[in-house]
Structure 1
Amino acid sequence: MSLSSYLAEAAALIQRTGTPALDEAMNDAIATIADALKAGRPLLVCGNGGSASDAMHITGELVGRFLKERRALNAICLSSNPAVLTAWSNDYDYATVFSRQVEAYGVEGGVLLGISTSGNSANVIEALTTARALGMKTVGLTGEGGGKMAALCDHLLAVPSRRTPEIQQVHLCLYHYLCEMVEARCA
């Protein structure tokens, strides 16, 4: 495969992702997140591996700035504290490493954004379950079908692919758009 054909396939997936249903889900997710942040409620973000890096990227854009000079937004990445991650995982259970932090930082009216390309990451599912129990809104960034996460998300942002690298490429486009729109509403 040549680079140009690889990029053409990536561009085609981005085009297929842009549907009216995803537009509606994205607009609803943006409104939910912006409303929570404007009310002083947190946005918690979690994911594993590459999705953990995406979680850090998203919170970095919102705490710092994306395109506009503005106040910092209350966005917390649940995969960014190695002491919490390793202590809890070693002493208790990796499947609850994010849900434990949702217990610590989550509040009613806040939002949890869970990222899993398969939609089946146990620790993301546990975090979504805990968030719902606390009265938080839930947003899922995932791949085709949404996996087990689909039933736990108020707003599901699913890329129509089952290939992890492809899903992650489109996730970047989706969350950059989300950050730009949330920032515009919160500036």
Structure 2
Amino acid sequence: MIDFIKSKIQTSIDLKTSLLSNTALLSLIDAIVQDICSSYKQGGKVLWCGNGGSAADCQHLAAELSGRFYYDRPPLFSEALHVNTSYTTAVANDYSYDVIYSRLVEAMGKKGDILFGLSTSGNSANVVKAFEKANELGVITIGFTGETGGKMKDLCKYLINIPSKDTPRIQECHMLLGHTICEMVEMNLFPKK
């Protein structure tokens, strides 16, 4: 069993090492941070959508911006779109689960806002529809996916496609990069004195 545990840790390390040497991806992260900071400076917001573990990651990362990350500073408008369970269950029941996010993007999103979509396959229908609506409205779309990017690939301004097909390892990298983005946004908007 120890060898099995070691193999899982090593697989995670190897994937993260591949990110470390991917200069295109690192440059993309920097560009994402600049767009997020620009949006906030213009009164924008950051919205998040995903399903299952990705929904949990969205909620976690939204809280890093709306609460705080490393130090006390003013809150930033950031919300995971699934947190209102009455809304989510009503719209899923009355319309379709596929539109739970696109309807909220339509209601809340405006040009220059940011929408993150997390989907390891890149094919989650409700995230895809949210990106389609976001693009209609001029909302900046950022996709966190697995290797292929799936259907989201062609709908994102920025695509962070982790070079793996292993869902848990992809999600670990989503959180690593998400945390990095949150820290950089905090540092950029609220430099420590």
Instruction: Give the TM bin, normalised by the shorter chain.
Output: over 0.9
- Matched residue SS, 2:118: strand
Q: Which of the numbers 133, 143, 147 marks the counterpart of 1:140?
A: 143
**TM-score (normalizing by structure 2):** 0.94
Counterpart-to-counterpart distance in 2, 1:163 and 1:34 = 31
The Cα of 1:5 is off from its aligned counterpart by: 2.0
Q: Unaligned stretches of 5+ in structure 2?
A: none
State whether structure 2 residue 44 is matched by structure 1 residue 41. Answer: yes
**Distance (whole Å) between structure 1 residues aligned to residue 102 and residue 66 of structure 2:** 22
Alpha-carbon distance in 1 for matches of 2:166, 2:54? 14
In structure 1, list runs of 5 or more residues that go unmatched: none
Query: Identity, % of aligned pairs?
Result: 43
Alignment RMSD: 0.9
Runs of 4+ in 1 over 4 A off after TM superposition: none
Instruction: Write the deviation string for residues 135-176 of structure 1: whole angstroms up to 9, x where unpaired.
Output: 111101111021110111111111100111110111111111
Match of 2:8 in 1: 6
TM superposition shift of 1:10 = 0.6
What count of residue pairs does the alignment treat as equivalent?
187
Instruction: Please report the TM-score for the alignment, with normalisation by the length of structure 1.
Output: 0.97
Q: Provide the C-alpha distance between the structure 2 equivalents of 1:134 and 1:162, rounded to a whole number of angstroms.
A: 32
The residue identity in structure 2 corresponding to 1:166 is: R
SS of residue paired to 1:44: strand
The one-letter code of the counterpart of 1:84 is: Y
Partner of 2:32: 29
* Matched letter for residue 155 of structure 1: Y
Cα offset, 1:25, TM superposition: 1.2
Equivalent in the alignment of 1:17? 19
Which residue of 90, 101, 126 maps to 2:104?
101
SS at match of 1:162: coil
Q: Secondary structure at the match of 2:28?
A: helix
Q: 1:168 aligns with which of 159, 167, 171?
A: 171
Cα distance between partner residues in 2 of 1:118 and 1:56: 19
